[in-house]
């Protein structure tokens, strides 16, 4: 599905149109449709942990989010070898409003979200047997 980037993806201010393709329930890819050399691997944080946070009012206005909006949240995964060493940035989620196909990335305040890190290892979320 194609989305218009409102605001920006951190470090990629020229990225304005992206496509997100789901690989499975946990992983997706996000590709800049105007520069296929720019792509990200995303994770669905809710498959790994509880992930409550407040979407800032400015972001709600930017994406035209209301109480009835269908939204999704993803986090960027920095791929490492082996895959278990890959890290997830929980402090900068990607917010998508599916109602109007827009998205942006926000930065959460670390003091207000002390349980979330910028580089949490994916292996730390392995389920105990």
Query: What tens digit of pLDDT does each residue of 31-41 get?
Result: 999 997 999 99
Domains of the chain: 2-123 (2.30.290.10)
Q: pLDDT at position 124, please?
A: 86
Is residue 107 scored above 50 in pLDDT? yes
Is residue 62 scored above 60 in pLDDT? yes
Query: What tens digit of pLDDT does each residue of 81-106 get?
Result: 988 889 999 999 999 999 999 999 99
Q: pLDDT at position 77, please?
A: 95
For range 107-116, the mean pLDDT: 94
What is the Cα–Cα distance from 26 to 114, expressed in whole angstroms? 23
Q: ω before 102 within 30° of 0 (cis)?
A: no
Q: ω before 40 within 30° of 0 (cis)?
A: no
- Phi then psi dihedrals of residue 16, to 5 deg: -120, -20
Whether the CB-CB separation of 92 and 76 falls below 8 Å is answered with yes
Give the lowest-confidence range in 21-25, 61-65, 95-99, 124-128. Answer: 124-128
Is residue 117 scored above 70 in pLDDT? yes
Q: pLDDT at position 127, please?
A: 63
Query: Strand locations in 15-57, DSSP E?
Result: 17-22, 27-32, 39-43
Q: pLDDT at position 105, please?
A: 97
């Amino acid at each position: 599905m194609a989305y218009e980037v409102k605001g920006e993806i951190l470090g990629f201010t020229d990225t304005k149109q992206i496509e997100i393709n789901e690989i499975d329930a946990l992983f997706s890819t996000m590709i800049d449709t105007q520069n296929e050399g720019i792509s990200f691997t995303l994770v669905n944080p809710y498959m790994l942990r509880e992930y409550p946070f407040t979407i800032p009012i400015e972001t709600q206005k930017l994406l035209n989010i209301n109480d009835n909006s269908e939204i999704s949240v993803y986090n960027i995964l920095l791929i490492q070898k082996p895959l278990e060493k890959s890290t997830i940035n929980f402090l900068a989620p990607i917010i998508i409003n599916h109602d109007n196909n827009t998205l942006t990335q926000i930065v959460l305040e670390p003091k207000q979200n002390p349980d979330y890190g910028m580089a949490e290892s994916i292996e730390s979320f392995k389920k105990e047997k």
